Every structure is written in C-alpha cells, then in structure tokens.
Structure 1
Amino acid sequence: MRALFCPLSDPGYLYPATAVALEAHRRGHAVTLLSTGPAARAAEREGLDVLEPGEAFAVGRWFRAGEGQYHRILQAARTARPDVLVTSVLCVGALAAAETLDLPVVVLGLACHLWPHRDGPGPGDAEDRGWRLDGALDVYRTLRAGLGLPGTGPDGQRALLGTRFLLRGHPALEPPGAELPEGVRHVGPCWWEPPADEAADAGLRARLDRTGKPVVYVHLGRVFGGESLWPWIGRTFTGGAFQALVETGRSETGRHGDPYGLTGIAATADVTVVRRPWMGPFLDRASLVVTNGTSAPVLGALRHRRPLLVSPNGGEQRVLAAACLRAGVAAPLDRAAPGDERLRAALADRATAARAARTADALDQSKSESAAAQAVEDACR
C-alpha cells in the first residue's frame, strides 16, 4: 500500500496523523506525509518521506484554503503515487482531491463527532451540530463549484465523511443512545508528539520547582470572540496556593504587541508562559488541567489521568466541553468564582477523577494507531 497523509498542519491535526503514518510505515507500507516543523523532522528520522504542505493546510484558513489544499495534494500525488489519502476533518481540499484521483480517503476526526448523529442531536445535546454541518457543507460546496466538480447530492454529510471517518475519542463522549453515521467509528487518541527537548525545558522545570506550589496546566484555545482566560489566570495565580503553566497554543496574540495577552497580569503572579510543540512532560508535572475544550489537551489530560476544568468559547470547544461534562470526566470552570476554591474542589473530586481514570484505561486499550492503520488498509480493499 502507498499512502499519502495530507492532514492540516496544526499540531492537534498533524500529530495524530503522524502517529498513524508511523504505524503504517512500521507495517511495511510506503508512506508520504505532508508535514512541517519539529513534527516533520521527527517523522523523517523515523524513515517517512516528508513533503512541505504549504500555507493552505493551516486550520485557521480551512474555510478559504480548500483550493490550495486540492492543488498541493494533486502535486504530491504525482510523486507519491498513493493508493489512499489520509486527511483531517475540515480539510475539504483533500476530499475533492481524492475524488479527482479516484482514491479512497480516510478522515481523522476530533475527540467526538461535531455533526449530527444518525437521529439528530437529541435532547441535552444542543451544541449547534446542525449549524456546524451546514457551515462545513457550504465551504465544501463552494470549493466544488470553483473546481468545476458536480454537487454533493442530497446526503451532504456523507460527502464530508470520506471512505472511513475515525474519531479519536471514546463512545462515552457521545450523547447517550446517539448512533453515529455509517462509516464513522472510534479508534482512540492516536497520541504522538515530537520528543521533548529536556535541555530546553531545564530552566522551566527549575522555575516551577522554586515556588513549591502545585502546577495547573492551562492550555489556551482560540477565543472566537468569547472571553479570554487571561483575566481569570491573573486573579487566580496571584498570591494564591497554585501556580500556572500556560501553553498559549492557538490563542490569539494580545494587543499592543503583547504576544501572549499578559497585559494586566501582575509581575508577582505565579504564571509561567510557554509555547512548545509538546505537552506530555507538562501534563506529567501538573496536578490539574484547565482548557477551553479542544481535543489535544482533553485527550492528553485523560491519558495522563489528570482532572479537567473546561471553559469553552467557540469552534469544537462547546461540543467537546459538553461531552466531557456529560461523561463526568470534567467540571465546568466558573471564571467569576474564587480561583483557589474552584481548583481545590476539582482536585478533591474523587468521583470525577475515577471516571477520568476509567476513560484513560479505555483509551489506552483501544490500540488506536493500530486500529487507525488497519482502517486505512481496509479502505484500500
């Protein structure tokens, strides 16, 4: 089998695709990966053929970069001569390219299903799934029209699912009784990240050690016009019992040239800001994880058996945060409540910790990279 992996380039999409690409390579298949940065260098060291993706694969441009994705994949296919494409949810250019190349396409989704289930959202699951599907379909239909491809037909969702659609979470994160559309299955987290640079983080570890306070790992997502977590961070970690290790992730830059939104954070605050291509060592160190509710920090926290506090804004955040609350593996973050009080309560919540540990066991047992690689092989048959 010759496989061309063409995921979106942001870590939350690129890293799980790299995990599956490496497993396919270990199985003896010829694998080409569109990748960049530390992930590309690590993949090349493992023996993968790596090609530069270009700017069209940035997730922040997914709704307007489909044509660039399409042409880059066709170009890469002339070199890789693939039997199958593997891509990310929201990478609509790959779906169109697979059709033009007459190839099966496997889509790696997020931790839970963003779009309606077979019987619709159902009660207690009002995260605008239908609206999200309509938005994705509008982007895909516009792309197809621009490329001169025929319409998607009456079942638009089917067109977005590819030949196989693989969710990286667990059935416990779906609404009770919800039935996934045909072709959608859970495979597990497909967890991978570039090896951490221990020397680069030595000073960071020393700083955390000096305070002696428990570490709360705060992973920021995009604000989407909502409320930033920075005011809460400033209040909570100034003169309190905890310290924050803040990963800026995909959060927007602050005003007036402030790259992290730190304006208003006291110089005496116990806040350490990082932007790293890995989070594993930080999750090992943390007692608690705070996130807006994106797949990578949620799955990372669960795999490391860490309690979660969720505070969603837009995008996938509301869907996944609601899924975590419904599954009982997280608690909501009340940004107005006294910070220490909420953090202490989360750490003392043994029931939530136990459910998170059971979910971690299920994720570990899913053999996700193997299951996903098998799905890619099956799509070729």
Structure 2
Amino acid sequence: MKALKQKAGFILQILIIILIAALTFHKMFHGEDAREIIRCLRRAKKCWIAIGALLMVFFVFAEAVQLRILFRGMGQKISLFRCYLLSNIEFFFAQITPGAAGGQPIQMIYMGRFGVDMLVGALACMVIAVLYKAAFLLIFLVTLLLRPKLVLGTISRVPVLFSFGVIFQLLSIFFLTLCIFRPAWASALLEKIIRLGVKLHIVKHPDRARAKAKYSVEMYRNGSKFLKEHKWVVARMFLYTVLQRLAYFSVTFCVAKALHVRHADWLGIVAIQVILSLSVDALPLPGAAGANEAVFLRIQERWFHTEERLGAALLLNRGLTYYFLLICCGAFTVCANFMRKKRHHGYLMDPTGAPFNPEQIPENMTETSGIPETVLENATEAEGTSDNME
C-alpha cells in the first residue's frame, strides 16, 4: 500500500510538471509571436545545441565521478557505471519532487542495492551536499566580484525571490555549521522545531523525527571529520563540483550562441543563471516549474532583446537543462530498476534493499566517529592506493 502511494505521488508530481509546462508553452505560443519563435528555433545553430546537451551529460557524469572518488577513498568497490546510474537516479527524483527533496534519499536506497554500506552512502550524500553549496557560493562571489553592476542590477529585478533563496541558503549553511562545529546546539534546535511541529500538528511521529534528526546531525559531524582527514579526496571532489555547476550554467551561453547572439558574454550569462538558481531552487515546486520560466523571461532580456528570441531561448534552455535531463535520467533510472540487486549485508539496510530506519543504530558505531570501525579501516587502507583501484 505504501509503495502504491509513493508511485501515485510521483505520477501526480509528473502530471503537475506537464500541466505547468503546457500552460507556460501555451501562453508563449498563443498569438502572432509563435511563428517568429518557431523561425528563431529553425535558424538556431544545431552544433551549439549539441554542445549544450553534452554539457548536461557532463553535469550528470561529474557527480558520478565524485561518488566514485569518495567510494574508492572509503574502500567501497563499485563501478563507475553504477555510480553514473546513482547520479541519474538522484537527478531524476530531484527533478520531480518539490525542492529537489526526493533525490538523495532515494539515491541512498539504490546505493544499498548496489552493495554500498549505508553509512558510507549517507556520508557521500552529505559531502556532496556541502560541496555543492560551497561551489555555488564560490561561483556567486566570483561573479559578484567581476560583474558587480550586472549582478546587482539583475537582483533588483527579482528582489523577493532572490531574498527568499538567499535566506534559505544562509539558513542551510548555518545549520550545517552547527552540525559540524556545535552538534549539541544543532540537536537542541531540532528538538525545539520538532516540539513546535507537534504542537502545530505538523509532526505526527515525534520519536521517529527525533531519531532522524539525531542521525542527520551525527552524519554531518562525521562528515566534517572526513573532510579534515581526506583533504585530497575532498579537493578532487570539489573541483568536479565547480566544473559541474559551471557546465550547467554554461548551457545558456550555448543557447545564446545557437540563436546568433554575437555579444554573448560567458561570465555575464553565468552570473545571471546563478541568480536564477538562487531565486527558484528553494521553491516547493517540482523542478521549480513555472517559476524558472517566469524568472528567466524577466532577467535574460539583456542578452536576447526581442520577445521572439527570448521565447526561443527559454524553450532551448529549459529543454536542455530540465526536460532533456529528466528524460535521460529517467531512462537510466528504469535501467537501474532492471539490474539485479546486489545482496548487501552492511549496516542499516537489509539484503532486500529496504529503506533506512534511523532507529537501527549499529552496535559497533564508535562514539567519536559514528562510522563502523571496519569502514574506517578500509578507508585508511584505501586512501593511499585509491588511484590504482579499478
């Protein structure tokens, strides 16, 4: 029954995405401008569109490489292809769930099915999340430093959404900092939030929520220890994270080139796309459907000028960064479901690949590290030879 409800929920979210997309495209193609938009699309340079598609493939592949680097550093034997499947799974479910909340939890379930220890899988998701925010912040600060007038002028066009997105990111960074440096404070804060949720009848299972909160805080604290003890591994992962984000933001530059925008400035376009992501990523909408399109039309006029070219740019950019990504990742997710499940006798997951239960804390989890001693031993042995492993 629970599985049926989950499938029904995913189907409903996909239908919502299709409905919002249909309404958006209907509004764009309704009237005289539709013919001009189609003409712009027909005149577009196919080579630049292909480059944009390749950048999105690299966007997914970069996370697979990050997973591979971390798993090898922790002594987990898993092929690059399976890491690529895990990356596709994460992006697919992130695209169809509000606020991209469903990506990593489902990715962790598939990690267990592929034989990855659940604690290592949770640590991988945590490290990638931290590096993602760090790379995002770095790119934004660099663009603000190099293109201050452009960045500030663009922010003034969407002040409310941008402020909401920045506040959300700052709160996330604040919570991560608490988990890493003051885990007791983070636990106390979460306890107050859970109690408030119980009073407001939002949290129906407080004991389960407390167990999940305790596990999350512990994993982030353990993640900080991993970051300190495996600096070379983390540095390589961070490099791929920066390249991954730049590849995603550069798709719009390819779209501009495809539509014959001669004065297209790569850094300027990247700066505007960073602002767009900050403005809509935190919204509780699957894939930020509707909001992404509206903000794009509002802030990208600088490069595409005419309504026809701007409409064509939206179709190409959204088609590559969302719908192309959704279809490709969906296909690989189906492929992953047909693969034979690898029997896994690790921690916090049974051989059938059942989801994580935060109340099942392993007995051999050390108080200082929170990671089973066997995994720590594998990490120590593997770090020096990770580059030679297949």
TM-score (norm 2): 0.32
Where is the strand percentage greater, Structure 1 or Structure 2?
Answer: 1
Give 1 or 2: higher helix fraction. Answer: 2
TM-score normalised per structure 1: 0.32
Q: Which has the higher Rg, Structure 1 or Structure 2?
A: 2
